[in-house]
Each structure stands twice: as structure tokens, then as C-alpha cells.
Amino acid sequence: MVILESNGVGRDDRRLESVAIINALRRGTVPESGLERLAVGLETEERVIISQLAFVGAGHADCKFVRGEYGSGKTFLISRALELGLAAKFVTSRVIISPNIPLHKLRTVYARICADLTTPSEDHALKSIIDTWIYSIEDRLISTGIDEDDFMLVDLTANEIESILIRVSGINSSFAAALRTYYKANIRGDFATAQMAIGWISGEQTIGRPFKSQAGLKGTVTDEDAFLFLRALVYIIVQAGYAGLLVSFDEVETAQTSARPQREKGYINLRQIVDMIDRNELPNCFFLFAGTPVFFDGSKGIRSLPPLYDRIDVIADSRFSNPMQTQIILPKFDLKKLEEISLRVIDIYAEAHFEVDKTRVSIRFVRTMIERVTGRFGGRVDVVPRLYLREFVDVLDKCALYASYNPMDKYAFVAKEDDVSLKEEEKAVMRVSW
């Protein structure tokens, strides 16, 4: 029997979530869920994102650029935004910009969005979303009094689907044709064809000619029509009962490593997204882009395309940041936040495994450990959160395993600039003079 907490979350589920959080911290990665339990100092940013999600869910489009140094929590914030999106009944997708998924190849970006579609109950959910759309039509017809075994249900459902596909055709006729092929293939039990239809919709480049001929299709998704495919996809997402689509793009600064023509094309694509949002040509879409300051201000960053830079530049204020602007500017991680998150990790660890011995892991020890860890990096708190939290969980593990372990006496943290546990970007930050 699962006992529910006051927030409706089962205790067993919460314990498993706690275990997953601790496991992720052991690996030095951002947990997949439960991020609100680790979020420190992001209340204002979260309120802004929640407000934007409500606006987008009402049929509009919006975007936000998240700007911060390595260690400031960009990936954490956009992961938290995805969590908030799922809670608001959005379908979400996470795209990490890389040489394999560059900003200048929209068809590749579209394919990645489709591959990572996530609903509150399922990952890789493209097929499930389309099925939910079809089932919702059947359920609505049944609710009018038609028996689910009535032979007319199939015909009436087909008519409803066709009426929607006419509207989808107005966005992209090929997308509508593939959806029609998928539905008809399912009706006759031709699941191989249905699967190929899903693959074609998701931008797969290897779908064979026989399927295309059967479906009346030519080619595949291209850079030129990727936005139309995305708009048609979001239309079906909304028809399936979801609020819209939230897509996060992390590590967008990777675009700077491309050759100039490709880099400029990627920035033009970003400008096109911003302009389409202003014209509400991507209704029910919310985009988040996260990058380092050099992406915004460097010579190879978006400053090199003034029309884009002018659209998303912000008024900087070191004392009072304004996340309601196009950019959310994240401050560097500080000692206070590191201490607060340590105390939260202690509580999560207690739910995941064992109560933490507060005589050994006291607030005095936490502050001592923070001082020692940051001292190894010249006091640079902004580059140590990942390493610190991984080592802190190790301390909690040893306290749980060994009664004789005294972290205040035995603890020793060794981290040099050439330590393999540092990521390349963290090493780069360490070499920057401030």
C-alpha cells in the first residue's frame, strides 16, 4: 500500500525520486526530476517561466534566453523549466546543440525535438501523442452516446480525423498525408507501415521509396519546411489535449565553433524563430535557449548578427536583474547558495537512504568543507558546485557506512587544475583572469 503525502506524491515514489537525485549527484549530473527540492534562489525566475507558460498555453508563442557562466546553473534552470512545463501539461523536448545537432541544420534540430518528446507520463512520446489525439476523438464520440462496438464509430472517427487533417494540410500537406497513412495503417493492422509513418513524421532520412509512394509523399523533412512540420506537430499536440510544446536548447554557444557561413545561418535561424514568435506563427510553442556570456557578446556570438542581437539584448543591472526581459541573466553561484543546497541534500539523503548523523555532518562541517573545496580553486565558487556536491554525497555515504568515519578529521579533497574530474569548460573558466 502506498501512503500519500499531503501533496499527493506517494512516499514510495518520493523515496525513489530521492534515490535518483542522490545517484545523479554522485555522477555529477543534473537529476531528471525533483529539481524543485534542489532549486536555490530561483523563485523569481520560476514565477516568470510559469507566467510565460500560461501565456503560451492560451495560444501564443514565447521564448527566453538564459545567460550565465559555467557553474551558474543554466542547465539546472532549463531542466527545472521543463519540469514546470510538464506540470502545466506541456509536451517537452530537450535539445543539446553540438556538431551533430547544429543550429544551422533545422531538419536535424526538428528530428531531435521529435526524438525527445516527453509527456508527464512517457518519454519518446511522438507515437503516444498521435494515438492520444486519435483516441480523444473516439472518446468524444462515445461520450455522445455512440457505443464503442458500433460499426459507425470507425467511420465517424475517420470523418473527424479528416476534418482535422484538412486544417493540418493548410499548414503542411505532407505532414497531413503521413498522419492519414498512419491512421489507416493502424485500422487495417499494418503496423510496419504505421511505424514508417511515425518515422517519416519525425524527420527520419532513411524511410524507403515504397512507403513514400504508398503515402503519396516525396522526399523528407528539409531545412526549408522544418518550421512548418513543427507547427503542424504542435497543432496535433494541442488537439491531443496538451497545452503546447516547450523546447529547451542547451549549450547554444557551441554554434560559435562552426565555420562562418554555417554559424551565420544558425543565427539567422534564431532570428527567424524570434520573428515568428512576434508574429505568433508558432502558437503554443515556448523556446528556451541557454548559453554563456561569450555567445551573447563575443565576436563569434550573436553580436555578429546585429538584427538578432538587437532583438534579444537586455538592459543589464548588477543589483536588480529582470528575468522578465528576453534574457534571464544568472548570477554566479555563491557560498550562501552552496551552503543552502548542502542542507537540502542532507534532507534528500535521509529520505533516500539513512538519517544523516548531524554530529558528524554539522553546519560547522558543511562550512568547513565548502571553505576547503573552494580554497582549492582560489575561492572560485562558480566552478565547484558539481564537484563539491559529488564529494559531499560521498561524505554522507561514508558516514552511513562507517561509524568510525569522522569527516572533520579524515576528510581530504584533492583537486588540481589538471584533475580529470574537471570538465573542459570548467578548466577553461579556471584559466580566465577576473
pLDDT, one tens digit per residue, over 371-424 is 888 877 766 666 678 888 999 999 999 999 999 999 987 554 444 444 445 555
Provide mean pLDDT across the span 38-63.
94
The sheet with strand 285-291 has its strands ordered as 91-96, 245-250, 285-291, 61-67, 327-329
pLDDT of residue 54: 97
Q: Report which of residues 6 and 178 the model is more confident about.
A: 178
CA nearest to 300, candidates 250, 264, 256: 256
Lowest mean pLDDT among 72-81, 100-109, 247-256, 268-277: 72-81
SS (H, E, C) 65-91: EEECCCCCCHHHHHHHHHHHHHHCCCE
pLDDT of residue 171: 93
| Alpha carbon 198 to chain centroid, angstroms | 22
Lowest mean pLDDT among 187-191, 286-290, 307-311, 420-424: 420-424
| Res 237 pLDDT > 50 | yes
- CA angle, residues 404, 406, 411, in degrees to nearest 5: 130
pTM of the model: 0.84
Question: Where are the domain boundaries for CATH 3.40.50.300 in the chain?
Answer: 34-119+242-329
| Res 305 pLDDT > 90 | yes
CA nearest to 246, candidates 40, 408, 87, 415: 87
Percent of the chain with pLDDT over 70: 89
Provide mean pLDDT across the span 280-297.
94
Lowest mean pLDDT among 152-156, 210-214, 393-397: 152-156
CA nearest to 109, candidates 270, 313, 286, 347: 270
Confidence of residue 146 (pLDDT cuts 50, 70, 90): confident
Provide mean pLDDT across the span 175-186.
92
Query: What one-letter code names the amino acid at 187?
Result: I
pLDDT of residue 383: 62
Write 219-227 long-range contacts (CB < 8 A, 24+): 220/107, 221/107, 221/110, 221/111, 222/107, 223/105, 223/106, 223/107, 225/172, 225/174, 226/106, 226/107, 226/109, 226/110, 227/106, 227/272, 227/276, 227/281, 227/282
Q: How far apart are CA 282 and CA 197, in angstroms?
A: 23
pLDDT in tens, 73-109: 888 899 999 999 999 999 999 999 999 999 999 999 9
- CATH superfamily of this structure's domain 34-119+242-329: P-loop containing nucleotide triphosphate hydrolases (3.40.50.300)
Q: How many CB atoms lie within 10 A of CB 92?
A: 26
Q: Which of 2-11, 23-32, 230-239 has the highest mean pLDDT?
A: 230-239
